[in-house]
Structure 1
Amino acid sequence: MSPKTVFKKIIDREIPADIVYEDADCIAFKDINPQAPVHIIVIPKKEIPNIEALQEEDAELIGRCFLAMQTIATQLGLSQGYRVVLNNGRDAGQEVMHLHFHMLAGRQFGWPPG
């Protein structure tokens, strides 16, 4: 059995997090190493390591994560815009092998990213 990821420990309340949103399917909290004035991590409570591990049955769950981001954006007043980032795999910068979305806001972002 693999050791729990830091995100699973947050879900299980084994370590603290500054939670900004939670429902039956996902949880969102402030990133401890923010890359923008607003940096929220949004994760499904179901343990899914990355995009390649997604199953057809996960489609609705991932959609609910996006609806959660919409709610979070409204609650935090991010009407000027925000960026959603998903790093998939170590070469893309994924550090925690639990599918997660970064909501970044509070400053201008350039294009292309990276």
Structure 2
Amino acid sequence: MSKVINKDEKLLSELKENPPKIIGKYKKKGWAINLIKKVELSDTKDEKLVKGLLQANDDTYYPAVLGLSGSEVVGIYFVSEEKEYFQLIPQQIALEFLGNDLLPFKYWTLEEVE
């Protein structure tokens, strides 16, 4: 099961003390796709969550979860590996650890969005 981390200062300081293991920087799409297929999702009241793939500015790939409101992307979550589960980290927090040089991203969803 996955859980979404909400941004707050306490959480950010905890992650700085124990940095997340954000999954990605794959040179081939297939590796990112294989991993995101393992992540279990459940929608929130504010957004529908869909599995996706990000292609970073350096042509590497990251498995990701996209939060949608209708057909509009309202959130991007990177996948972090914990001991027994995957954690979803909002883009603004994940970029604190990955750096902004990965922007801009191209993205794909693994399922059709209506």
More strand by share: 2
Q: TM-score under structure 1 normalisation? A: 0.30
Q: TM-score under structure 2 normalisation? A: 0.30
